[in-house]
Amino acid sequence: MRRLNPIDAQFVDAEDQDRQASFAIATVAIFEGPAPAYERFMRAIEERLPLVPIYRKKLRTVPLRLGPPVWVDDPRFDLRYHVRQTALPPPGDDARLADLMARVMSQRLDRDYPLWEYWLVKGLSKRRWALISKVHHCMVDGVSGSDMYRVIFDGAPEPSLPAGSCAPAPGAASPAQAEPATRGEPSALALTAHAAAEMAALPVRQIRALASALSSPAGAVKRVEQTARAVARLAPSAWPASRSSLSGPIGRQRRYAWARVSLDDVKAVKNALGGTVNDVVLAAISGGFRSLLLARGEQPAPHMVPSLVPVSVRGEGEENMYENRLSVLMADLPVQIADPVGRLTAVRTELASLKASKEAAAGEALVALGWLTPYPLASLCVRLAYQLPQREIVTVTTNVPGPSQPLYAMGRKLLEIIPYVPIATTMRIGVSIFSYCGSVTFGITGDYASTPDIGTLAGGIESGIEDLLAAAG
């Protein structure tokens, strides 16, 4: 029995409070060659399960919310419930796959079961097939979710796990680390007692944290100063965004689309015009939102598209720890600037300012504070926050670097990976970026009712890269 960390628990609390949101993240992996038979695919996943022990665990809520939810073994685990198959109608193109992805992601994961699903998708055009990987955000973040690909898939056409073997893939957790999945579920009384013991131990953790700070007063003062500056830098982000059709009430159903660009093109822009890969893709997204607003007859203005930008705070070697280790930045996307080079310059300036102010330190400080705050109070704060009107965040843009070398499943080459990011509250659109093997894909999530023109944003992102390439010569 392992309790959720403060960030993981927030995703559960937020989903409980927001009836229109599903906090599952996902990817669509597209493979070449004929699709494998369902039974063979099932066996391949079953062989890898010991490498991902959390896939056999489900979430249990502590009575009266006395403590954060905990992971417990599912004594009735059934792999067939989690591994599903379907097929696209002809012609099996991107539009049909996007529609399927939107329908799959519109449904919440059932908490009576481990919080993940795999969908084997047949019927793609050009002799391809796909795998939709859907996992609740309380289980993984983008980095650890990406690392799962290295565990589930192979680095060469020949499978690294022969039939019946449980040898770990390179860099994966050893099966010896897998916890047995045969223990029964804890009772409500046991969960309550465990939570009460944790609350009783909280003052000890608080004293230890204080003692640690006092043992190095100079370091503690420096951290407080950095956090104070970061909070001061973050304060303007709390101003309501300029009104636009990008923000407002959402429903439960989703739309989905994606854009594709070459990583070499992104790097060419970076090398010619300056900045980082992340600067270039955010400038392209800014151009896409500008195109969408103009197509809707709205004039782009400053502070119209403030974006939540998750930042990984994982240390090296922590990629395969399946939990969230995130902080956040708030960046204003410069949609009011018509010139593509001017947008890139504005993005570079904004992100450089955020990094210099160590704004991510404020998020890290809040996470650290979460470990020292009684869970009932922390949970209440999260749920109350989701009841308040929200006009400060219009979108979320998350960028995850994926594998740079090709991966394979049962001998079939993985061609591309397209990400999915959830939306909630009044965010009608979210954009996730994923790089794999020389390509960059932008997965775009939209509210079904308010975003029928989601393709305009996808086309605007691709045009944004083309415009920057032209400017870079």
In this predicted model, which residue has the larger pLDDT, 108 or 172? 108
> Which strands sit side by side in the sheet containing 128-136, from one edge to the other?
83-87, 116-124, 128-136, 24-32, 412-420, 408-409
pLDDT for position 172: 41
Rounded Cα distance between 161 and 150, Å, is 13
Rounded Cα distance between 293 and 287, Å, is 10
pLDDT for position 118: 97
pLDDT for position 179: 43
pLDDT for position 177: 39
Query: Which of 3.40.640.10, 3.20.19.10, 3.30.559.10, 3.90.400.10 would CATH assign to domain 2-179?
Result: 3.30.559.10
Chain centre distance of CA 263:
20
Query: Which of 3.40.50.300, 3.30.559.30, 2.60.200.20, 3.30.2450.30 would CATH assign to domain 230-401+420-472?
Result: 3.30.559.30
pLDDT for position 313: 63
> Residue 389: is the preceding peptide bond cis (ω within 30°)?
no
Rounded Cα distance between 47 and 96, Å, is 31
Rounded Cα distance between 169 and 155, Å, is 9
| Catalytic residue (choose from 82, 137, 194, 303) | 137
Nearest to 51 by CA among 141, 137, 149: 149
181: tokens are 């999945």
pLDDT for position 176: 33
pLDDT at 387 over 60: yes
Each domain of the chain, given as residue ranges in start order, spans 2-179, 230-401+420-472
- Per-residue pLDDT band for 188 (boundaries 50, 70, 90) equals confident
pLDDT for position 247: 96
What's the whole-number mean pLDDT along residues 221-234?
54
Q: What is the 3-state secondary structure (H, E, C) of 376-434?
A: HHHHHHHHHHCCCCCCCCCEEEEEEECCCCCCEECCEEEEEEEEECCCCCCECEEEEEE
Out of 144-153, 286-295, 369-378, give the one with best mean pLDDT. 286-295
DSSP class of residue 62 equals P
3-state secondary structure of 93: coil
pLDDT for position 380: 83
Nearest to 290 by CA among 347, 238, 233: 347
Could you tell me how many helices (H) and strands (E) the chain has, helices first?
Answer: 13, 15
pLDDT for position 206: 53
Least confident of 101-110, 190-199, 433-442: 190-199
What's the whole-number mean pLDDT along residues 33-58?
94
Is the CA virtual torsion 274, 275, 277, 278 positive or negative?
Answer: negative
Please, are residues 441 and 418 in contact by the beta-carbon 8 Å criterion? yes
207: tokens are 């004293």
Rounded Cα distance between 454 and 429, Å, is 9
Nearest to 399 by CA among 277, 261, 250: 277
3-state secondary structure of 446: strand
pLDDT for position 166: 41
Q: pLDDT tens digits, residue range 413-451?
A: 999 999 999 999 999 999 999 999 999 999 999 999 999
| Residues of the chain above pLDDT 70, percent | 79
Q: What angle do helix axes 38-48 and 142-152 make, rounded to 10 degrees?
A: 110
Angle at Cα 267 formed by Cα 312 and Cα 304, nearest 5°?
60
**Known catalytic membership, residue 194:** no
Rounded Cα distance between 200 and 197, Å, is 5
Rounded Cα distance between 390 and 381, Å, is 15
pLDDT for position 229: 54
Rounded Cα distance between 71 and 60, Å, is 6
pLDDT at 228 over 70: no
User: What Å distances lie between residue 92 and 35, 130, 131, 412, CA to CA?
Assistant: 13, 11, 14, 19
Q: pLDDT tens digits, residue range 155-176?
A: 999 876 544 444 443 334 433 3
CB atoms within 10 A of CB 268: 17
In this predicted model, which residue has the larger pLDDT, 2 or 102? 102
Q: Do domains 2-179 and 230-401+420-472 have the same CATH topology?
A: yes
- Per-residue pLDDT band for 183 (boundaries 50, 70, 90) equals low
CA dihedral 133, 320, 412, 458 (to 10 degrees): 50
- String of DSSP letters for 217-278: HHHHHHHHHHHHHHHHHHGGGGSPPPP-TTBS---S-EEEEEEEEEHHHHHHHHHHH-S-HH
User: What Å distances lie between residue 63 and 21, 189, 191, CA to CA?
Assistant: 23, 8, 7
pLDDT for position 214: 54
